[in-house]
Amino acid sequence: MLDDEVTPNHLHFVRNNGHIPERAKTRNLENWALRIDGELARSRSFSLQALQHEFKNHESQITIECAGNGRAGYYPNASGNQWTLGAVGCAQYRGVRLVDVLNSLGVRQTAVYIGYYGEDPHLSRDPNKSPISRSVPIDKALDPQTLLVWEMNGKPLPAEHGFPLRLVCPGWPGSTCGKWLNRIWVRDKIHDGTKMTGSSYRTPRHPVAPGDKVAESDMAIITVMPVKSMITLPKTGVSIAQATPIEIRGHAWIGSGNIERVDVTYDFGATWQTTKLENPKNKYAWQRWSASIHLPKRDIMKSGLEPLTSKEEASP
């Protein structure tokens, strides 16, 4: 489902913390505005039309990945949505650079972080609660690749992807790409919005044994996403005759920089083959890789890799 070079809207993963706002469902822009305030020379509320016409528009293919992508593979189990491999996508977005908008308001020297707020209601429907309010440091907010977007693959943002406006912080976890935006707060300290404190979206600063408890002071906010790749062809579970050439391909991506090489293996890592790797369409887009491999005639499961019998025990 993720084999396309550019992920179609209907195949792009969706991860929400609250309910989809009614405005997004009805596509009604009446009384909508984006408020930007805080550590600025002046505050302002922008209509969508003002953003579209007052600042230069930019288009870019951007990979967005949920921080929990692959969580189902952890042992012991980690709490949260049990993603397997599909919580990632690379779509074409159109919008304006956040840095251009912030600079038009005059960013103060005291600015440290930005925090976003959206119109999505809390799951309890309590209007005094926010389902999520994450943030990034001011340096990431001023990165020319960080966008305020209103278009996804040539169409207005779908309701589930943040209509009318979404923040996209490429290379960082999807939770920093706030949907249904109506406020950006420029702060003089690390943002303390919902799911920015405690253990939310944090990892241990140092390696620990699986399942170990980690003190809050030893946890760090997730920033740049790690290198990752996936196979998108052939489909999982397909049967292929022995000694038949197989065309395989997929994507590889990283939160900062470019992928230099992708290798594949068909014998559980005993041998590796370097693939043909394409350059990204632009910074922060994933990279397509492909290869033709020849499976051996001999069944590799007969060469010392037989499955365990009921009398054998697997080591941890």
Lowest mean pLDDT among 75-79, 80-84, 108-112, 287-291: 75-79
The pLDDT of residue 107 is above 50: yes
Q: Two tokens at 240?
A: 């292929």
Q: Tally the domains of the chain.
A: 2
| Residue 313 lies inside a defined structural domain of this protein | no
Which residue type occupies 213? K
Can you give 7-55 as a three-state secondary structure string? CCHHHCCCCCCCCCCHHHHHCCCCCCCEEEEECECCCEEECHHHHHHHC
The pLDDT of residue 73 is above 70: yes
Using one digit for the tens of pLDDT, what is the confidence trace for 169-216? 999 999 999 999 999 999 999 999 999 998 899 999 999 998 888 998
Model confidence at 312, pLDDT cuts 50, 70, 90, reads: very low
At residue 304, the pLDDT reads 45
Residue where a domain stops, chosen among 186, 221, 256: 221
Residue where a domain stops, chosen among 221, 251, 275: 221
List the CATH number of the domain containing 269.
2.60.40.650
Average pLDDT, the chain: 92
Model confidence at 295, pLDDT cuts 50, 70, 90, reads: confident
The pLDDT of residue 306 is above 60: no
pTM for the predicted model, two decimal places: 0.90
Using one digit for the tens of pLDDT, what is the confidence trace for 235-262? 888 888 777 889 999 999 999 999 999 9
| Residue 4 lies inside a defined structural domain of this protein | no
